[in-house]
Amino acid sequence: MNKTRLEAFSDGVLAIIITIMVLELKVPEGEHFSDLLTLFPVFISYVLSFIYVGIYWNNHHHLLHSATRVNGRILWANLHLLFWLSLIPASTAWMGEHDFAKATVTVYGIVLFMSAIAFVILQTTIICLDGEKSFLAEAVGKDMKGKFSQGLYLSAIVISFFNQWISLIIYLIVALMWLVPDTRIEKRILNSEKK
């Protein structure tokens, strides 16, 4: 089975997700610079979510690059990931339009957490097919970085009931942690090319 079409479809969905978020940047009613200020929380949410979708696209790119084959399970694990990512625009908008109210930050965190879990499921499904001694299995290893992020998301979700600003800082920290594409895979590729 062909992984090119899987990549093409995922690219399409991710491109749309990253772009429809901008539809929430509703044109301010006034025509002065001051009218832009009301857009500020929406804009900040947009930047954060843009970075998150960018990270997922980047890591998805690396993940599928290292997969050798694709089967029906992988197609569905991939759709499952896209499902949770598709909720990012709506949860971003809810957060931005209510100036980061507590519940909106909690829901945003839940969507991020579920996306992270869905990514792990996809990763595991690919490793299952390729075998424990495959390139990807060795590159991912015990996936400490993934588990650490999931822990941070969970903490941020709990903390958001008390202070949503700390949660937002945690979301930002996780984003920065992943801004660099998954160098474990990148290094492995370079190493294997040297050999």
Which residues make up the interface to a second copy (CB under 8 A)? 1-2, 5-9, 11-20, 22-25, 27-28, 31-33, 35-36, 47, 50, 54, 57-58, 61, 65, 71-72, 75-76, 79, 82-83, 86-87, 89-90, 93-94, 97-98, 101, 103-104, 106-107, 179-181, 183, 186, 189
Specify the residue, 45 or 149, whose C-beta has the smaller distance to a second copy: 45
Q: State how far the Cα of 137 lies from the Cα of 130, in Å rounded to an integer.
A: 8
In the complex, the smallest distance separating the C-beta of residue 145 from a second copy, rounded to whole angstroms, is 15
Specify the residue, 98 or 147, whose C-beta has the smaller distance to a second copy: 98
Q: CB count, 10 Å around CB of 115? A: 24
Query: Please, how many CA atoms are within 13 Å of residue 130, restricted to the half-sphere of its CB?
Result: 23
- CB-count burial class (<10 Å; 0-12, 13-18, 19+) for 160: buried
Specify the residue, 72 or 141, whose C-beta has the smaller distance to a second copy: 72
